[in-house]
């Protein structure tokens, strides 16, 4: 019997299995063939299309729209995958509202862009369903490249290198490949274990070996990799999380949002997953939105996002904010946590209102207390475990050109590398481009 939303504390089984199943279905159900034809027909086949410019992986969107219109969704899928081998996941998780769909001329014309994301999913799904892998490997080059991290950047790099005839060994610290696609993406965006299915499909190219449980700095070292491989690509992501500076931050019930999200993604039965009655998520990015929506879907009664700056400064797009709001999440802006109260376990969070003067954020002194038996920290991830000797740019690995680090023979891309937004699609682009650069330098 479900415990209900009113059960106090952090408990599992707030909702029935049926409710949970219904809550965690696809955020956007896939398009049927006729829907896709109608939606694709709205594409104007723009000259030098703005949507392509807006796509970090430069997918030829008008071409794939036309291929859908012409009744060949698999050909459309190949057009996408040729530029973005993780086009299936990107179709699900890309903030299209700030990328291709924002640039779509129909957004300017009528506030209703071509549904590029959903159509990309339609096209890539049809390739995945067919079971075929439309790419093949070039003649073997005899070179082997080490890729560290099996997230989007690493997988994209590995696939492109394999396609070009190289062998690739991916060192992955976690038990499963996929990186944030597997452990970080909101469950309602990637259903039916899509991340693993996509990795399996990607590996069909051949020539890629994944060694899970292989941790840089422990089981392998950068110097060892440089010695044993023809090139190294680092795509280690941002494994660290920023700490919360507030009294009582160590109390029970306070945890990192990324861990909470990962638990949801890895749960074999959502009914076993505990969630608070009153959840407060600290932060303003996509992670904060994902964690808050998940809490709500698991049955939390009250979920609040507390963000220290104004709404405009939130990392989550307006679309993501609306998504949270539509699930009943309350968004509080200009509040910062000062203390978490409770005897051992969190009961309340005390937030102080803030105001900004000349870009400087200051507490106003006025505070408010919210019931909070669970506090999720979503205040950013940081680079952790980067090998010694790599030049950094701010808090990330410095790169030049297509991901060249300060050490010869070592490339980096994805969230761990400086430059570009921390998006799956950007990581794919960086991995792919680094692969082309590695190939060029190995075959020069």
Partner 1 sequence: MADLKTNFLGIESPNPYWLASAPPTDKEYNVRRAFEAGWGGVVWKTLGSEGPPVVNVNGPRYGAIYGADRRLLGLNNIELITDRPLEVNLEEMARVKADYPDRALIASIMVPCEEEAWKAILPRVAETGADGIELNFGCPHGMSERGMGSAVGQVPEYIEMVTRWCKKYYDRPVIVKLTPNITDIRKPAAAARNGGADAVSLINTINSITSVNLDTFSPEPSIDGKGSHGGYCGPAVKPIALSMVSEISRAEATHGLPISGIGGVTTWRDAAEFIALGCGTVQVCTAAMTYGFKIIDELTAGLSKWMDEKGYTDVSQVVGLAVPNVTDWQYLNLNYVAKAKIDQDQCIKCGRCYAACEDTSHQAISMSADRVFEVKDEECVACNLCVDVCPVDGCISMVPMQAGEVDPRTGLEVQPNYANWTTHPNNPMSKAAE
CB of 320 to partner 1, least distance (A): 26
**Whether 120 contacts 59, CB under 8 Å:** yes
Q: Does 70 bind partner 1 (CB under 8 A)?
A: no
Nearer to partner 1, 73 or 151 (CB): 73
Q: Kindly give the residue spans of alpha helices, DSSP state H, lying in 299-414.
A: 318-326
The angle formed by the CA atoms of residues 430, 133 and 52, to the nearest 5 degrees, is 40
CB of 65 to partner 1, least distance (A): 12
Tokens describing residue 169: 């060994």
Tokens describing residue 182: 């597997």
DSSP readout, 20-77? HHHHTS-SSPPPPHHHHHHHHHT----TT-HHHHH-TT---HHHHHHHHHTT-HHHHH
Nearer to partner 1, 47 or 357 (CB): 47
Q: How far apart are CA 283 and CA 278, in angstroms?
A: 16
Nearer to partner 1, 43 or 372 (CB): 43
DSSP reduced 3-state for 298: helix
Q: Which stretch binds partner 1 (CB under 8 A): 88-96, 105-113, 177-185, 271-279?
A: 105-113
- Please work out the total of residues on this chain that contact partner 1, with binding judged by CB under 8 A: 16
CB of 58 to partner 1, least distance (A): 17
CB of 130 to partner 1, least distance (A): 18
Q: Distance between terminal CA atoms of the chain?
A: 66
Q: Does 108 bind partner 1 (CB under 8 A)?
A: yes
Nearer to partner 1, 50 or 134 (CB): 50
**Whether 5 contacts 300, CB under 8 Å:** yes
Q: Which stretch binds partner 1 (CB under 8 A): 23-31, 102-110, 254-262, 265-273?
A: 102-110
Q: How far apart are CA 425 and CA 337, in angstroms?
A: 32
Nearer to partner 1, 109 or 197 (CB): 109
CB of 44 to partner 1, least distance (A): 5
Nearer to partner 1, 75 or 85 (CB): 75
Nearer to partner 1, 76 or 244 (CB): 76
Q: How far apart are CA 424 and CA 421, in angstroms?
A: 9
Nearer to partner 1, 47 or 360 (CB): 47
CB of 51 to partner 1, least distance (A): 11
Among residues 32, 33, 109, 392, which is the contact residue for partner 1, using CB under 8 A?
109
The angle formed by the CA atoms of residues 12, 13 and 16, to the nearest 5 degrees, is 165
Bridge-based pairing state of the strands 374-377 and 278-282: parallel
CB of 42 to partner 1, least distance (A): 8
Q: Does 106 bind partner 1 (CB under 8 A)?
A: yes
Q: Which stretch binds partner 1 (CB under 8 A): 103-111, 232-240, 246-254, 370-378?
A: 103-111
Calculate helix-pair angle for 61-69, 116-130, nearest 10 degrees.
70
Nearer to partner 1, 130 or 228 (CB): 130
Q: How far apart are CA 69 and CA 194, in angstroms?
A: 26
Nearer to partner 1, 115 or 290 (CB): 115
CB of 54 to partner 1, least distance (A): 12
Tokens describing residue 245: 């500076």
Using CB under 8 A as the binding rule, the residues of this chain from 21 to 60 that contact partner 1 are: 34, 37-38, 41-42, 44-50
Q: Which stretch binds partner 1 (CB under 8 A): 100-108, 124-132, 316-324, 398-406?
A: 100-108
CB of 79 to partner 1, least distance (A): 19
Question: Which helix (H) or strand (E) segment is 240 a member of?
Answer: strand 240-241
Closest by CA to 235, choosing from 440, 441, 420, 439, is 420
Using CB under 8 A as the binding rule, the residues of this chain from 110 to 149 that contact partner 1 are: none
CB of 38 to partner 1, least distance (A): 5
Residue 358 exposed, middle or buried by CB count within 10 Å (0-12, 13-18, 19+): exposed
Using CB under 8 A as the binding rule, the residues of this chain from 379 to 408 that contact partner 1 are: none
Residues 408, 218, 257, 283: is their CA dihedral positive or negative?
negative
Nearer to partner 1, 49 or 185 (CB): 49
CB of 106 to partner 1, least distance (A): 7
The residues that touch partner 1, with contacts defined as CB under 8 A, are 34, 37-38, 41-42, 44-50, 105-106, 108-109
């Amino acid at each position: 019997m479900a415990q209900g939303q009113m059960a106090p504390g952090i408990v599992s089984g707030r909702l029935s299995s049926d409710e949970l199943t219904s809550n965690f279905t696809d955020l956007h159900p896939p398009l049927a063939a006729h829907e896709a034809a109608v939606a694709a027909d709205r594409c104007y086949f723009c000259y030098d299309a703005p949507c392509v410019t807006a796509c970090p992986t430069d997918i030829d969107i008008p071409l794939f729209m036309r291929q859908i219109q012409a009744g060949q969704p698999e050909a459309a899928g190949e057009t996408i995958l040729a530029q973005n081998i993780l086009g299936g996941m990107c179709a699900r998780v890309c903030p299209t509202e700030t990328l291709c769909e924002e640039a779509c001329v129909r957004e300017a014309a009528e506030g209703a862009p071509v549904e590029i994301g959903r159509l990309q999913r339609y096209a890539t799904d049809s390739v995945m369903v067919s079971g075929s892998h439309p790419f093949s490997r070039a003649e073997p080059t005899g070179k082997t490249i080490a890729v560290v991290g099996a997230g989007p950047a690493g997988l994209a790099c590995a696939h492109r290198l394999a396609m070009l005839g190289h062998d690739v060994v991916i060192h992955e610290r976690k038990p499963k490949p996929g990186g944030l696609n597997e452990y970080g993406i909101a469950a309602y965006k990637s259903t039916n274990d899509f991340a693993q299915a996509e990795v399996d499909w990607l590996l069909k190219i051949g020539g890629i070996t994944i060694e899970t449980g292989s941790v840089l700095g422990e089981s392998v070292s950068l110097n060892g990799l440089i010695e044993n491989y023809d090139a190294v690509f680092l795509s280690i992501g941002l494994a660290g999380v920023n700490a919360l500076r507030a009294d009582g931050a160590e109390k029970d019930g306070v945890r990192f949002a990324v861990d909470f999200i990962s638990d949801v993604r890895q749960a074999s039965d959502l009914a076993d997953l505990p969630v608070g009655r009153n959840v407060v998520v600290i932060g303003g990015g996509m992670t904060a939105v994902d964690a808050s929506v998940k809490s709500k879907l698991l049955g939390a009664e009250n979920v609040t996002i507390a963000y220290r700056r104004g709404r405009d400064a939130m990392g989550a797009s307006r679309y993501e904010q609306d998504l949270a709001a539509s699930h009943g999440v309350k968004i509080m802006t200009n509040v910062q946590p000062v203390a978490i109260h409770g005897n051992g376990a969190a009961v309340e969070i005390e937030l102080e209102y803030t105001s900004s003067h000349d870009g400087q954020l200051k507490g106003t002194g006025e505070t408010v207390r919210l019931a909070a038996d669970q506090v999720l920290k979503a205040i950013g991830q940081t680079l952790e475990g980067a090998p010694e000797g790599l030049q950094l740019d701010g808090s990330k690995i410095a790169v030049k050109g297509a991901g060249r680090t300060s050490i010869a023979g070592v490339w980096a891309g994805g969230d761990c590398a400086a430059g570009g937004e921390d998006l799956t699609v950007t990581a794919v682009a960086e991995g792919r481009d680094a692969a082309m650069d590695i190939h060029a330098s190995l075959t020069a």
